[in-house]
Chains A and B, each alone.
Chain A
Amino acid sequence: MMDEALRILTFQSGFNSAVVVAGTAALGLAGGTVGTFLLLRRRALVSDALSHATLPGIAVAFLAGAALGLPERSLPLLLAGAVVSGVAGLLTVQLLSRFTRLTEDSAIGAVLSVFFGLGVVLLSVIQNLELGGQAGLKTFILGQTAAMAQGEAIAIGLLAAGAALAVALLFKELRVLAFDPGFAAVQGWPVGALDLVLMGLATFVTVIGLQTVGLILVVALLIIPPAAARFWTDRLPALTVAAAVIGALSGWLGATLSALFPKLPAGAVIVLVAGGFFLVSFLFAPARGLVAAALRQGRLRLSFAERRALTDRLAGRPVEGAMALWLRLRGYARNGALTPAGRGAALAAERDRRLWERFLADYPALLPAHANWGVDPIDSVLPGDMVRLLEERSTPS
């Protein structure tokens, strides 16, 4: 079992499964890159409407193919149908939320479910017609990599890489669109066109992901990797790369697991792996993860309490309990008196406290937003001449 897993992970288990795994990884990569900008633009759920809206197009394309006498099911035709009805769904959402009093969430919900309903009706028509090759249609709903042919997997991989490349080329434009569309418009950027490009890329990723992940879950490829990456960094280039990596890893591991075990549908497994990455990031990421945030806050509290205890001790007030123990552990106090090191730290803390107090009283509006006033050493936050000025003012004359 382990050997088999290793072989698939390292692309050595036959050409076909290697191609499928690589294609799925490329799909995850594209989802992560495009999804980053959707997330920042707060458009994450619009793509949900888009992906559900592809179903009627797929069904109509299948019927058209059958009417034209095309063999079995031709994938390009089905995907073309998916694009057309997906875009129609997208435009309906835009029109509803722009020209009526309905809000975007209602528009998304209505479009998603009504288009899906139409697709379900058309599927039941197809079922009644008893045409050949219709079993393949169901795979579009929940996805299936097992049915994927080599050529299809290669095409998906190349197209996904193309989508990621397009994001890389348009990085500057998409960045300004994501953070400040108003500014972008004033600067003369074609904001409307850029928005269209972004939604176009989302459509593209959705449609090539249909077969692998299925139309209900494909939106997860666009949402989860960037949402997970968001916990690791606050910088856009790093965010995009992290989302791409998480997406690619999800696709790679998910496709591998699904190939390894029976009855593990690829789409769902990929989403679960991505969900696992999200959970780990949510808890343990150093930048914004829960554990890191709790640790930072704890450290801040401890530092604040320590300074308070030191200044108390300096002023001759007794320090009891856990804090006294802590001061002894730090080497600041011994036998109920401050050590030389403790005295130095206490004097520094006392000076910081005095100067911060003066600063807050004199210049409350100038407080730097990023500083933990009262805890950070004042010399490392404020410029030297300001500190000197405060010292002059706060020295009792």
Chain B
Amino acid sequence: MMPDVQEFLQIDAPALLAAVLACAACALVGNFLVLRRQGMMGDAVSHAILPGIVGGFLVAGTRETLPMMLGALAAAALAGLLIEAVRRLGRLESGAAMGVVFTVMFAAGVVMIEQASAGGVDLDADCVLYGQLETILWLAPTGWDSLRDPAVWAALPREVLTLAAVFALCAALVGLFYKELKITTFDPALASTLGIPAGLFHYGVVLLVAATAIAAFEAVGSILVIAMLIAPPAAARLLTDRLAVQILLSVALGVLAALAGYGAAAFGPMLLGASHSLNAAGMIAVASGLILALAVLFGPRHGLLGRRRAIGRLRRDPEAVA
């Protein structure tokens, strides 16, 4: 029982496209979070943007994306500043500083949502938490043939265009500053002696992560963004020792997670005979988790089984040190 072409193009294709682009962009910048031991920064940012989103929505009074995104960006910058202030001036470890800042900001966002919904404003916590992949529609195409018409492409949903732009921006920045990012990530002290501003790149990475997370939260929700940021790069890290390979691999794994997750959520229940689809964003997170689990187990050099095999080889033949 396959859905017909028009339904696929109008409902599934744009959602799939948005998911793929969101996963690819998040995986791309997530590499630097994973390598810089800042995985929790993604967590903190994605929670802390909530009051910014709600604030932008309330100020503009519409569901337009731009005010919400500006609000979210402001909230992310504020969160970064507050975390630094609490960590430095308060002399708390960074985990605790993040924990204090992002929970308080998230709580403020929740209160703002509840208060706003009292005034009959159409915004609920669910769409912020889980995203609204299913509501991204592309009404223009009517069949495969209509895809040749440029007007159809011009009518691509705004979410997809935003995500494409963010992905292009991330790819361009990472490509342009690849060398600097590499040095500041692995050896900030060396970078400083070479005259590369490591501190600036630190904030640059955080800001880029925030921008990506904000663009993607619309599609996949504020908490599942963390899965896209962390899981594919973490899996890629277990599969290779080269940064360039890791980055490309993580993007590929992110795309794979998006395709597999969306496919399982949209078409899986149908194959089993159920009529409803499942939450696609959640399923994508689960798919990326499965990919990570496979990498942990079967990664050739750094996977658990691979390492055990290497140790066994070494026991049998101590001379053959690989």
B90 interfacial by beta-carbon distance below 8 Å: yes
Which residues of B62-121 have CB atoms within 8 Å of chain A's CB atoms?
A: 86, 89-93, 95-100, 103-104, 106-108, 110-111, 114-115, 117-118
A119 interfacial by beta-carbon distance below 8 Å: yes
What is the interface of chain A, defined by CB distance below 8 A to chain B?
A: 39, 42, 44-45, 48, 52, 96, 99-103, 105-110, 112-121, 123-125, 127-128, 141-142, 216-217, 219-220, 223-224, 227, 230-231, 262-265, 267-269, 271-272, 274-275, 278, 282, 288, 290
Are A103 and B39 touching (Cβ within 8 A)? yes
Are A105 and B38 touching (Cβ within 8 A)? yes
Main secondary structure of the interface of A (DSSP, over half): helix
Q: Which residues in A have their C-beta under 8 angstroms from that of B288?
A: 114
Closest residue of chain A to B282, judged by CB? A120
Q: Which residues in B have their C-beta under 8 angstroms from that of A118?
A: 282, 285-286, 289
Complex-state Cα separation, A291 to B123, whole angstroms: 40
Closest residue of chain B to A99, judged by CB? B304
Q: Which residues in B have their C-beta under 8 angstroms from that of A116?
A: 223-224, 227, 282, 285
Are B100 and A224 touching (Cβ within 8 A)? yes
Which of B103, B125, B302 is A220 in contact with, Cβ under 8 Å? B103
Q: Which residues in B have their C-beta under 8 angstroms from that of A223?
A: 96, 99-100, 103
B37 interfacial by beta-carbon distance below 8 Å: yes
Are A264 and B114 touching (Cβ within 8 A)? yes
Complex-state Cα separation, A52 to B106, whole angstroms: 14
B292 interfacial by beta-carbon distance below 8 Å: yes
Are B111 and A121 touching (Cβ within 8 A)? no
Q: Which residues in B have their C-beta under 8 angstroms from that of A100?
A: 238, 296, 302-304
What is the interface of chain B, defined by CB distance below 8 A to chain A?
A: 33-34, 37-40, 42-43, 47, 86, 89-93, 95-100, 103-104, 106-108, 110-111, 114-115, 117-118, 125, 129-130, 221, 223-227, 229-231, 233-234, 237-238, 265, 269, 274, 276, 278-279, 281-286, 288-289, 292, 296, 302-304
Complex-state Cα separation, A272 to B110, whole angstroms: 10
User: Given known contacts A44-B95, A217-B106, A269-B111, what 10 new A-B pairs fall within 8 Å (CB)?
Assistant: A102-B237, A106-B233, A108-B43, A113-B224, A121-B282, A220-B100, A224-B99, A227-B97, A227-B100, A274-B104
Complex-state Cα separation, A230 to B97, whole angstroms: 12
Contact A101 to B230, CB < 8 A, known contacts A42-B93, A44-B96, A124-B282:
no
Are B107 and A288 touching (Cβ within 8 A)? no
Are B302 and A112 touching (Cβ within 8 A)? no
Are A128 and B276 touching (Cβ within 8 A)? yes
Least CB distance, B1 to chain A, in whole angstroms? 17
Q: Which residues in B have their C-beta under 8 angstroms from that of A142?
A: 110, 125
Least CB distance, A120 to chain B, in whole angstroms? 3
Are B283 and A117 touching (Cβ within 8 A)? yes
Are A272 and B107 touching (Cβ within 8 A)? yes
Are A288 and B91 touching (Cβ within 8 A)? yes
Complex-state Cα separation, A110 to B235, whole angstroms: 10
Q: Which residues in B have their C-beta under 8 angstroms from that of A269?
A: 107, 111
24 A–B contact pairs at CB < 8 A? A45-B40, A45-B96, A102-B234, A108-B43, A109-B42, A110-B230, A114-B289, A117-B227, A117-B289, A118-B286, A120-B224, A121-B282, A121-B283, A124-B282, A128-B276, A142-B110, A220-B104, A224-B100, A224-B104, A230-B92, A264-B115, A268-B108, A272-B108, A290-B89
Closest residue of chain B to A269, judged by CB? B111
Are B92 and A227 touching (Cβ within 8 A)? yes
Complex-state Cα separation, A128 to B274, whole angstroms: 9
Are B39 and A106 touching (Cβ within 8 A)? yes
Least CB distance, A247 to chain B, in whole angstroms? 13
Are B114 and A265 touching (Cβ within 8 A)? yes
Complex-state Cα separation, A222 to B65, whole angstroms: 35
Are B296 and A96 touching (Cβ within 8 A)? yes
